[in-house]
Amino acid sequence: MLEYYDPKKDYGTPASASAQLITLAIDGIDVTVPEGTSVMRAAALADINIPRLCATDSLDSFGSCRLCAVQIEGRRGMPAACTTPVEAGMKVTTQNAELARLRRNVMELYISDHPLDCLTCAANGDCELQNMAGQVGLREVRYGFAGSNHLNADKDTSNPYFTFDPSKCIVCSRCVRACAEVQGTFALSISGRGFASKVTAGRDQPFLESECVSCGACVQACPTATLMEKSVIAHGQPEHSVVTTCAYCGVGCSFEAEMKGDQLVRMTPYKGGHANHGHSCVKGRFAFGYATHKDRLTEPMIRDAIDQPWQVVGWDEAIRFAADRLRSIQERYGRDSVGGITSSRCTNEETYLVQKLVRAAFGNNNTDTCARVCHSPTGYGLKTTLGESAGTQTFDSVRDADCILVIGANPTDAHPVFGSLLRRRLREGANLIVADPRHIDLLDTPHAGDAVHLPVKPGCNVALVNALAHVIVTEGLQDEGFIQQRCDAETYRRWRDFIAQERHAPEAVADDIGVPAASIRGAARLYATARNAAIYYGLGVTEHSQGSTMVMGIANLAMATGNVGRSGVGVNPLRGQNNVQGSCDMGSFPHELPGYQHVSDSLARERFEGAWGVQIDDEPGLRIPNMFDAAIAGRFKGLYVQGEDIAQSDPNTQHVEAALRSLDCLIVQDLFANETAKFAHVLLPGSSFLEKNGTFTNAERRINRVRKVMPALAGKEDWQITMDLANALGYPMDYAHPAEIMDEIARLTPSFSGVSYERLDALGSIQWPCNAQHPAGTPIMHTDDFPIGKGRFAVTEYVATSERANRRFPLLLTTGRILSQYNVGAQTRRTENQAWHPEDVLELHPHDAEERGIDDGDWLGITSRSGQTVLRARISDRMLPGVVYTTFHHPHSGANVITTDNSDWATNCPEYKVTAVQVVKVSEPSRWQRDFAENLKRQQALMAQSDVEVAG
Ligand code: SF4
Ligand code: SF4
Ligand code: SF4
Ligand code: FES
């Protein structure tokens, strides 16, 4: 019997990975399952459902409740089905009078200490305890309710999203195990013994004050109403659900959006999701309230100039106004005077349409994406070395990794569900190396072995990766077989001669980069000698003046050690936003058509020209920073921005604002009137991920379906708005559904040629390339060869950034994210996630604080060569002395007022991670912050007439 898997069913215990099959008889039915399967799971696979309370298939079996007792021929007693593995020839009985009596007795004991308020309980109808009481036929409780009990235990409502009501707890420990096994936080424990045993968060603290990160795994696992979503308590049990994809980070978790009418009641992580397997983080699980927030834009608006009030108009008028303005700009300033920016938060179909609009209706290649400011070096670096602009693995591949090198990434905050998977592998014994200026939480993974921390100074990554490679090459740790067979001999020889030079030795660079030579040598040996070694990296690699060089250095390391092309290895960029990979794949960059086909490639161009019926420029268009420069120079006058807040997210805010002020037509299409909207002439209300159909592509190249669960608040989905704008410009677009857009993408993009909504629905998700050779997609890339034939080593000369600390700016500022907020915060700031991070702060080392007389919570003026802002101090020994850190989730923090416009030499990705600053105690906001507050007031006054809230 093959194991058929229904993701909506709970099989009681996890699946066994064994290939060895075993046949047994359960209630007289022959069942064949993999060796290592529990009797409970084997029975469930045969549709024989054994009662259970402490077992669930996301957790290892525990065997505490005794409800699942069975009888096995030839064995004494009544063993627990959840902890008993199947054996060949076993004969199991799951139902008889003796078993029924035992189960009823067990259940009676539970119910005698449980409130009998089922009818008014929020879990009524969705409670395993209630179901099991019915299933075992419990009709009376002989013990009464007068004895000692827990019925008056206090409820903990501190967490913004769920409650903990110990009066309903049966101490089954599922929550404790979920927090440990699935999430890896170990925030919960069972304290006390016997009757006094109870679930405790942290050191017997309220949930909110404990180390709980609000992932929801315990709530998901709880079989009673003890741990319960507040949204279900408020709205009642959901009535129907739709499987869709989280719109926050690049993990791309699948969820069941559970609805009551048009009301979203709960987002339940979907067990059938190939990226998350039923796990979630606080953002996707709980932070969906922004979708119905009162700040949502619901009507289109226009104005002639940015100091004029907004005028609410109908869709037709807004679109016509935008199209007329764009056309008159082009007539006056030329075809290249307008452009568009796609969003990595929108769907593939939507980003595809925006770049098509620019290329076909605007008639130029002035299209770019917010991926410019995060992962453009990944595209360049990986394409140059491995031949494809994408990560090489599935997330699940990490379960086969023996050594995990994390560079410039903070997965437990920025990619939390993958962070949990990674922690699971660390607990199983994999070695961890972290290269990061900060002591990130991953280094403190509970129950994992010792980790190696390489606290590299900001800006020194390339020197570090070269030193690691130097050790590998000079100590003979490279994989000659792989290199000979899979890599280009000439580029390898050149690289080897370069990297073997003494100037790259750990001892030669240690002082400059801040990492002891012995640590570098140890880490290089650990990585090179592991059976499987995998690299995961993030924006701490790409957002540097040598971001592309560093990506190539990482690829060199993987190729030199043969860590490419199988499970457990590879080069894995952790993408920040939900659809960074997709927006790059869809041709958002000015030099590439969809599928990374260069605009100078006449064959590719001809294909698109044939399909689109226009001529496509063979010269790359403007990148975002070029657009800003051209705007300030008066050559670039019109910009269409889809779902992206460039005024907040791009570096050197004053420069960006000056550019936006220079435009004659700025069209902002977004959920909210964001910072960029303050400079806009047309506001087009966008649709949230809940209001549209489409696809997102996550960091493992996985194309996931986004499914509409409620109508678009303003009446149009984003792809429809772009289509309307194209039509108003005289370029016909006529799609009835995003599936038709995907069909067009598949026709024109070789790596997507096998993708369709039908196939996505049938397979659940697909990792591209998906084509005739790989109709079900490609989980692991480069298994036999590279798209460019042989892998190409790149010489990675280290060139120190010009942004250096000196006497005037003695500290280096680096930026990043935290778990509860997301990017510019437009969504998460409009949810209860504010409870965890209501403001951005500046983290600094105790030594730097003491030197400046700074106490925790002081206001600090942070000055760089670009500008000044003011943030509160948080003293933290996670920092290196000399390095300070902040997030950029709140617009008034002005984190990007101080970042410079230095950028990656190859791609212009901004150097967010290195800004030389000075920090002093101050008592008032910076000038920029005062201007920001005034501008906010002005824009609020202009909006007042149209009753629209302005972000603040
Ligand atoms: S809170 Fe829920 S999952 Fe945790 S022990 Fe109590 S009943 Fe079990
Ligand atoms: S919400 Fe997540 S982190 Fe918090 S206690 Fe539950 S499982 Fe642990
Ligand atoms: S890990 Fe990322 S994709 Fe998954 S729920 Fe959290 S934010 Fe969403
Ligand atoms: S379900 Fe088996 S002992 Fe609880």
Mutate to test the pocket of ligand 4, among 50, 65, 103 (most ligand atoms within 8 A of CB): 65
Q: Can you give the pLDDT at residue 234?
A: 93
Q: 48 pLDDT exceeds 80?
A: yes
Ranking 329-333, 434-438, 865-869 by mean pLDDT, the lowest is 865-869
Closest ligand by atom to 229 CA: 2
Q: Ligand 3 centroid vs 275 CA: distance in angstroms? A: 10
Across 574-693, the runs of DSSP E, i.e. the strands, are 592-593, 597-598, 638-642, 665-670, 682-685
Mutate to test the pocket of ligand 3, among 246, 279, 821, 828 (most ligand atoms within 8 A of CB): 246
Per-residue pLDDT tens over the stretch 813-829: 988 887 888 877 778 88
Q: How confident is the model at residue 324 (pLDDT cuts 50, 70, 90)?
A: very high
Tell if the pTM clears 0.85, that is, is over it: yes
Can you tell me which residue has the tokens 């009446």? 715
Mutate to test the pocket of ligand 3, among 183, 215, 244, 248 (most ligand atoms within 8 A of CB): 248
Per-residue pLDDT tens over the stretch 137-175: 876 666 665 566 666 778 999 999 999 999 999 999 999
132 lines ligand 4 (CB under 6 A): no
Q: Ligand 4 centroid vs 316 CA: distance in angstroms? A: 62
Q: If DSSP codes are grouped into helix, strand and coil, which group holds residue 232?
A: helix
Q: Ligand 2 centroid vs 215 CA: distance in angstroms? A: 5
Q: DSSP state, 689? A: G
Q: 921 pLDDT exceeds 70?
A: yes
φ/ψ of residue 938, rounded to 5: -60, -45
What average pLDDT does this structure show over 855-866? 92
Nearest to 562 by CA among 537, 529, 522: 529
Residue 49 CB partners (closer than 8 Å, separation 6+) = 43, 135
Nearest to 174 by CA among 146, 204, 142, 199: 199
Residue 75 CB partners (closer than 8 Å, separation 6+) = none
Q: How confident is the model at residue 544 (pLDDT cuts 50, 70, 90)?
A: confident
Residue 647 CB partners (closer than 8 Å, separation 6+) = 653, 656, 657, 660, 674, 675, 676, 678, 679
What average pLDDT does this structure show over 363-377? 85
* Rounded-to-integer distance, Cα 533 and Cα 552, Å: 17
Q: Can you give the pLDDT at residue 946?
A: 64
Q: Can you give the pLDDT at residue 261?
A: 87
What average pLDDT does this structure show over 313-324? 97
Q: DSSP state, 469? A: H
Closest ligand by atom to 285 CA: 3
52 lines ligand 4 (CB under 6 A): yes
Ligand 3 atom, smallest distance to 417 CA: 1
* Rounded-to-integer distance, Cα 435 and Cα 440, Å: 10
Q: Can you give the pLDDT at residue 141?
A: 65
Ligand 3 atom, smallest distance to 245 CA: 3
171 lines ligand 1 (CB under 6 A): yes
* Rounded-to-integer distance, Cα 681 and Cα 669, Å: 11
Q: Ligand 3 centroid vs 107 CA: distance in angstroms? A: 37
* Rounded-to-integer distance, Cα 540 and Cα 440, Å: 12
Q: Ligand 1 centroid vs 70 CA: distance in angstroms? A: 24
Q: 951 pLDDT exceeds 60?
A: no
Q: 295 pLDDT exceeds 70?
A: yes
Q: If DSSP codes are grouped into helix, strand and coil, which group holds residue 343?
A: coil
Nearest to 300 by CA among 740, 728, 731: 728
Nearest to 938 by CA among 310, 503, 405, 320: 310
Q: DSSP state, 786? A: B
* R_g over Cα of the chain: 29
Q: If DSSP codes are grouped into helix, strand and coil, which group holds residue 250?
A: coil
For the chain, give the mean pLDDT.
92
226 lines ligand 2 (CB under 6 A): no
Q: 536 pLDDT exceeds 70?
A: yes
Closest ligand by atom to 206 CA: 2
Nearest to 582 by CA among 251, 344, 765: 344
Q: At what angle do helices 348-356 and 718-728 cross, to 10 degrees?
A: 10
215 lines ligand 2 (CB under 6 A): yes
Give residue 35's identity as a one-letter amino acid code.
Answer: E
* Rounded-to-integer distance, Cα 691 and Cα 262, Å: 11
Helices (H), 852-926: 895-898
Regarding predicted confidence, which is higher, 952 or 932? Answer: 932
Q: Can you give the pLDDT at residue 421?
A: 97
Q: 408 pLDDT exceeds 70?
A: yes
CB 748 within 8 A of CB 607: yes
Q: Can you give the pLDDT at residue 948?
A: 54
Give residue 518's identity as a one-letter amino acid code.
Answer: A
Regarding predicted confidence, which is higher, 363 or 867? Answer: 363
Helices (H), 756-885: 757-763, 846-851
Per-residue pLDDT tens over the stretch 753-809: 999 999 999 999 999 999 999 999 999 999 999 989 999 999 999 988 888 888 999
Q: Can you give the pLDDT at residue 149?
A: 63
Q: Ligand 2 centroid vs 921 CA: distance in angstroms? A: 37
* Rounded-to-integer distance, Cα 814 and Cα 729, Å: 43
Q: 751 pLDDT exceeds 90?
A: yes
Nearest to 576 by CA among 524, 531, 614, 539: 539
| Other beta carbons within 10 Å of 139 | 8
Q: Can you give the pLDDT at residue 3?
A: 55
Residue 449 CB partners (closer than 8 Å, separation 6+) = 426, 429, 431, 432
φ/ψ of residue 675, rounded to 5: -65, -40
Nearest to 248 by CA among 892, 818, 835, 899: 818
- Percent of the chain exceeding pLDDT 70 equals 97
What average pLDDT does this structure show over 439-451? 92
Closest ligand by atom to 56 CA: 4
Q: At what angle do helices 461-474 and 506-513 cross, to 10 degrees?
A: 160
Give 400: exposed, middle or buried? Use CB within 10 Å, 0-12, 13-18, 19+: middle
Mutate to test the pocket of ligand 2, among 163, 185, 279 (most ligand atoms within 8 A of CB): 185
**Number of residues that make up the chain:** 952
Per-residue pLDDT tens over the stretch 82-137: 999 999 999 999 999 999 999 998 888 888 777 778 888 888 888 888 888 888 78
246 lines ligand 3 (CB under 6 A): yes
* Rounded-to-integer distance, Cα 149 and Cα 196, Å: 10
Q: What is the distance between the terminal CA atoms of the chain, rounded to a whole angstrom?
A: 59
CB 92 within 8 A of CB 39: yes
- Cis check for the bond before 769: say yes or no (omega within 30 of 0): yes
Ranking 90-94, 132-136, 412-416, 497-501 by mean pLDDT, the lowest is 132-136
Structure tokens at 771: 């084509």
Structure tokens at 730: 């005289």
Query: Cα 68 vs. chain centroid, distance in angstroms?
Result: 38
Q: Can you give the pLDDT at residue 2?
A: 46
245 lines ligand 4 (CB under 6 A): no
What average pLDDT does this structure show over 837-849? 92
Q: Ligand 3 centroid vs 299 CA: distance in angstroms? A: 30
Q: Ligand 2 centroid vs 114 CA: distance in angstroms? A: 23
CB 746 within 8 A of CB 586: no
* Rounded-to-integer distance, Cα 169 and Cα 174, Å: 11
For ligand 1, atom 6, the nearest C-alpha belongs to 169
CB 249 within 8 A of CB 577: yes
Per-residue pLDDT tens over the stretch 614-669: 999 999 999 999 999 999 999 999 999 999 888 887 778 888 999 999 999 999 99
